[in-house]
Chain A
Amino acid sequence: MAGSSIFFFLFFFFFLLLSAPARAQDPPPPADDAQAVRARVEYPKLVKFVPAPYPEAARKEKREGVVFLSVDIDDTGKVTAVKVVRSVAPDLDEAAVAAVTQFEFTPAKLDGKPIAVTVPLSYPFKLKDAATGAPAADTNGKPPADEPPPDSYTPDPVPPRRDFPGRITGTLWRFGQRTRVTDSTVVVASTEELPEVGRVQKRVFGGDDGTFNVKNLPPGEYEVIVEAPGFFVQRKTVTVADGPRSVEYFLKATGEPIYITIITGRALAREVTRYAVRLEEILNIPGTQGDALRSIQNMPGVARAPFGLGLIVVRGSAPRDTRIFFEGFEIPQLFHFFGLTSVINSDLLSKIEFVPGNFSARYGRAMGGIIDVSVRKAKTDGWHGYLDIDLWDTAALLEGPVGKGGIALSVRRSYIDSVLRLIPGIELAPVYYDYQAMFDYPILGGDFKLMSFGADDRIMFLEKDETPYITISHKLTAQYRKRFGEDRLFASAGVALFNLSFLNDDQTFRLSLETQQAEWRMEYLHQFNSTLSATAGFDGNFARGLFSLSTRFGGNREGSDEGDINNPFGDKKFEFDGYILANSFFTEANWHPDKRWTFIPGLRLDLLRVGETEVAMLDPRLTVRYCVKPDKLSINAGVGLYSQEMEIQEVYQDFLGNPRLTSNKSLHTTLGTTIKPLPAVSIESAVFYKHLFDLVTASDRVLMIQGEQVRENLRNQGYGRVYGLELLLKKESDALCPPFLGMNKCFGWLSYTLSRSERKESDQIDWHVFTFDQTHILTAIFSGQWRNGWQAGFRFRLSTGIPLTPFIGGIYDSDSNRYQGIQGALNSERLPLFHQLDIRVDKKFEFQRWSLTAYIDIQNVYYNKATEFIDYNFNYTKRRTIEGLPIFPSFGVKGEF
């Protein structure tokens, strides 16, 4: 190159960021997983290259290195900003930035339309004199694998003068994982002057299937150099004769931040606040035992559940007010017993989205928040799997291609009971398993997915091997999604059963619930023009539940009614065969008249029949977004009505219910901002106010209905109000880490919620704090990786203790020989402040075709004796505190291929 003795080796590669920006425009159901988005993206191509002059001082001092850059390219292909992600030296950084700023590209396109993007780019500085001679081959004839980028290449490869049959084909695998490496650059250079053609050098790009093919090579010895973002350069010497030569490369990851292309300037989420998490980050959050879904409990607005139970308490709402969707279907339970682990294998997930309030009209029948969990597609680049063994359970996963599609099977089985048997005094232990099976296949230009998943939880008496408590759930779903240009269709249907039974030790008390359920959903998104799109659809479910509660002491008398709740004596049997039929219709528009304003109005109508009670719920909603500075600062506001039907058993008079009930309602208002001071740093804040009304609460009134006294039992008479502030400071995984730690990438977040949740069950009761109210909730998480496979992190949590209602005395009931506790003022006390530190250390050992990860996860490192519960003596005259977990270690190993 003129004016320079250097030769550069430049590469940039593109991966789409799977998280918020990529999926922001169109939240599920059409799962914008990486592959799907990728297929729609046309990447920018370099059309004008400007070489960076080698700084004279660096040349004299023989300083070399690769400057890693982040380049913003606008929708015309012009470079608008260049940032140094990893510095070499100020003078080299400056030269690289100055050169790259003058680059020109073809614009990136999404669905054919130019878009702005941010791409990673590395600019190497290598002195030509230092490049004399390729790195020496080792004694096996193989060059060292872990080397910096190659020194230099002839800028204009010499074309062969005639055709040769020789060629080199190869496949690129990720070392230790056997996944195919895409977006590679392969350079083949003869190691010496060849007869007739002289020196030969060719460069090709690897395919999406991880293969490459270099043709037309004269016989001779070649050095094959493989470059791929995120991997060490590999060199191999290959001798080519008159024919093809096949090679395999296993590329070791550098551990550098994953190269990503951030698509910017797209429409943002429909909701005011939507927290999305990247799975590669949250899988190793301390205290979660590698369970991605448990990370939800670290999000802003989510209160800590007592005992660490898997209850999700969102913005001061009851756990039952938040709906949890898995692939668009509600799941009856997210966690196995005690929140030990989730019922879904975290490795199958593609994303977790959490909307604490003001959610889209696409979802309804909930007054709290929404958690939407999606699964990825099965891998199709070969058979993969793993075996994960820890202290509590073992999980296995196997997945691979089937025709044009893929299949994945996952099973987990606990053996916590065997561990607990070793601890004296433990009589009960949980036993659980879960499974997921999925099959993806492209059909008629769309994606079809068939899924089955389920879980089985049992409590076992260790000495008797009896299981008094069992829950079983199974679900089968089918879904289809397809794009028609910019329009999208999603349709799904599923059937499920959920059974629960409880039988006491003497078999005198039996409780059972058997439910069957069918669900459906269909929606269509139509893009009218560049500023307006709309979604319309319907969903619904039919659920039938047979509930039975019976006692068997052998003492019913003539004339006794075992269904009479007022009869304190004799055997009891309560049953109801109830059902819910729900048909819901929704529509939502997305209108952004200019680059700053976005309006998202929505309307949802839910028509329900709960037992013999009919309910109609009409919920209008609106979200408005004002973009103050594109990609830097936006202000969002939302208001909407959110209705939730009563529980099924609440409408059955014989089951202490009231068939005259109607729905619970809440009005959500949120004002939020999103600030992105740096590409990988975001600050999200929200203030919210929620007004709840028509809440179903207990009533002791006795009504006269058709001349008979009837207990009212329940009534829509309760109120609630919740207000607060949420703050999330988040740093995504990248190389900007504290230098003294020596990490090559790290991530972390600081989440704080200040809130107050109050209830007023009736006009006779004063406002009081809600049972799950927590004034302060603080979570700090940090985790980082080193190049040698080590990873370590911590999680610190601090939260106000939950309220509790004290017992101030007890009345002796001679019929049962029990004291009936008399409660004091409702929620007038609180448990002490909770705080806990958890740490986690992982070490990954990589072998050519598989890898092994070992970890230890320690909860409550400094042993804070947190009070989780207040217990009373038999006559409520004394009380004591029940503490939560002591120092709680968990460790395991995971081998994957």
Chain B
Amino acid sequence: MHTKLQIAMPIVMAIVFLFNANCGDDFRPAGQLVDDEAQVLGIRAEPPEVGGGDTLTVDSLVHWPQGEAHYLWFLCIPTNLEQVQSCVKSQIGDALPPPCEGAMATLCTAGTDPTFTWTAPPIPLPEGVTEVFFFVQQVLSSSPDVWAACEKAIRNNLPTADCLISLKTVTFSNREIKNLNPLISHFVVNEAIATPGEAVVVTAGEKASFNVVIDHAGLDELTDESTSTNFIFMDMDFFTTCGTLDRYDEQWYCEMALDGTREITCVADDDEEAPNNIKPRKDWTGECVVHAVLRDNLGGITWLTQELSFM
């Protein structure tokens, strides 16, 4: 059976790549934000799962170090089993798509501000179908007229240095209990609880350590009894503007006890229980930002930003 080789070889290739991944010049990790490159860190739909008539708010976490970012948002409903990457490209016409108001088009312009809201039309789902998906596409540019500056990039689905393209999937369902975004409670910096929104002062020239605490109230996947399991894996990604981190991503495991207490515990991977260390660039003083972005595996996302002052 040719199947065997066909399946085995990509895996072997991947393993070979892993062997050699540390060869050559190292790349900057995605979590190490720099002053000369803009980067999207996450797009959030609040809530991540909607039903007919529900209102959705979409925003994003963006690192835009120079100038001002200008936004262009699209909503796209796949009409032909398109995937998220190709939805806008395959439906874009000659002009900017119509706004997402009134009669709903399968592709519409949702806004040009950093956030937008949208109310899902009360469309009944076909019988037997519980959920469908639609997509949010964000285009960022330094140009105030994003459409004019990035029309070619949008049509070709090919981002440029000044036209960043990002995507987000939103679930449309008729479930009574819908998925919620997870929540981050707070940072712990140098073993002290940091109050969200307040900068923490740390010693310049020294490493600072931090942890992140997940707010169990956001773990609807566990409290929702319609789910079939009592555990969930979540991904936490870290970003910083002032140096390097020991870890840029962690996998978290949250479990709800089945002994009647329904107590929830969340832990990072075994190897990652130790505090994460931030090592600022040489002679760094002043403000430093650390973003923690948490994702569940159902499209939920949240983030929390902690400011550090190296003095």
Contacts and interface: CB of A to CB of B under 8 A. Distances in A.
Nearest to A648: B3
Interface string A639-664: 00000000111000000000000000
Nearest to B156: A822
A543 B37 CA distance: 53
A553 interface: yes
- Of A555, A711, A822, the most chain B CB neighbours within 10 A belong to A555
Interface in A705-724: 709, 711
A426 B299 CA distance: 34
A764 interface: no
- Of B27, B37, B251, B295, the most chain A CB neighbours within 10 A belong to B27
B135 to A, nearest CB: 10
Nearest to B164: A812
Interface stretch (A384-392, A599-607, A875-883): A875-883
Nearest to A644: B2
Contacts of A309: 9, 12-13, 16
Given A557-B298, A558-B175, A709-B81, A874 B6 contact: no
A566 interface: yes
Nearest to A330: B1
Interface in A508-551: 508, 511, 513, 515, 517, 543, 545, 547
A809 B30 contact: no
Nearest to B163: A809
B27 A878 contact: yes
A545 B8 CA distance: 14
Interface in A462-496: 469, 471
A553 B232 contact: yes
A825 to B, nearest CB: 12
Contacts of B17: 869, 871, 882
A817 B42 contact: yes
Given A333-B5, A871-B24, A814 B43 contact: yes
A844 interface: no
B228 interface: yes
Interface stretch (B69-77, B166-174, B190-198): B166-174
A566 B80 CA distance: 12
Given A709-B80, A711-B81, A814-B40, A560 B24 contact: no
Nearest to A420: B19
B66 interface: no
A567 interface: yes
Contacts of A311: 9
Contacts of A874: 27, 29-30
B56 interface: no
A555 B1 contact: no
B278 interface: no
A514 to B, nearest CB: 11
Given A307-B16, A815-B299, A809 B169 contact: no
A502 interface: yes
Contacts of A877: 37, 161
A635 B149 CA distance: 65
B158 interface: yes
A307 B9 CA distance: 13
Given A543-B1, A817-B293, A812 B40 contact: yes
Interface string A283-321: 000000000000000000000000101010000000110
B122 to A, nearest CB: 18
Nearest to B83: A566
A68 B257 CA distance: 88
Does more than half of chain A's interface fall in helix, strand or loop, or is it mixed? Answer: mixed
A338 interface: yes
Chain B interface residue bracket vs A: 35 or more
Nearest to A334: B5
Contacts of B8: 333, 471, 500
A197 interface: no
- Of B2, B7, B293, the most chain A CB neighbours within 10 A belong to B2
Contacts of A772: none
Contacts of B212: none
A702 interface: yes
A133 interface: no
Given A502-B11, A647-B6, A702-B80, A811 B157 contact: yes
Nearest to B27: A873
Interface in B143-180: 157-161, 164-169, 171, 173, 175, 179
A771 B255 CA distance: 46
Contacts of A709: 80-81
A567 B1 CA distance: 30
A566 B15 CA distance: 27
Interface string A69-91: 00000000000000000000000
A715 to B, nearest CB: 15
Interface in B201-259: 221, 224, 226-233, 235, 237, 249, 251
Contacts of A811: 85, 157, 159, 165-167
A556 interface: yes
A813 interface: yes
A508 B252 CA distance: 12
Interface in A800-842: 808-815, 817, 820, 822
Given A569-B299, A814-B167, A428 B18 contact: yes
Contact of B157 (A498, A517, A822): A822
A875 B30 contact: yes
Contacts of A814: 40, 42-44, 60, 166-168, 301
A506 B251 contact: yes
B20 interface: yes
A496 to B, nearest CB: 10
A559 interface: yes
A851 to B, nearest CB: 36
Contacts of A195: none
A554 interface: yes
A569 B130 contact: no
Contacts of A869: 17, 20
Contacts of A571: 297
B43 to A, nearest CB: 4
A555 B295 contact: no
B39 interface: yes
B85 A557 contact: no
A141 interface: no
Contacts of B171: 569
- Of A570, A878, A883, the most chain B CB neighbours within 10 A belong to A570
Interface string B32-76: 000001011011100000000000000010000000000000000
Contacts of A812: 40, 164-167
Contact of B235 (A332, A459, A545, A817): A817
B95 interface: no
A425 interface: yes
A226 interface: no
B158 to A, nearest CB: 5
Contacts of B249: 817
Contacts of A425: 22
Given A307-B16, A558-B175, A553 B226 contact: no
Interface of A: 307, 309, 311, 319-320, 332-333, 337-338, 425-428, 459, 469, 471, 498, 500, 502, 506, 508, 511, 513, 515, 517, 543, 545, 547, 553-560, 566-571, 580, 647-649, 702, 709, 711, 808-815, 817, 820, 822, 868-869, 871, 873-875, 877-878, 880-883
24 contacts: A307-B16, A307-B20, A309-B9, A320-B2, A320-B6, A338-B12, A427-B18, A543-B1, A556-B227, A557-B227, A558-B227, A559-B131, A559-B175, A567-B131, A567-B133, A570-B297, A570-B298, A702-B80, A711-B81, A812-B167, A813-B85, A814-B44, A881-B24, A883-B23
10 cross-chain pairs, A with B, having the tightest CB-CB distances, nearest first? A559-B130, A814-B43, A812-B166, A558-B226, A873-B27, A874-B30, A554-B229, A554-B231, A553-B297, A554-B232
Given A338-B12, A882-B23, 9 more contacts: A309-B16, A320-B6, A556-B229, A559-B130, A559-B173, A647-B3, A815-B168, A817-B237, A871-B27
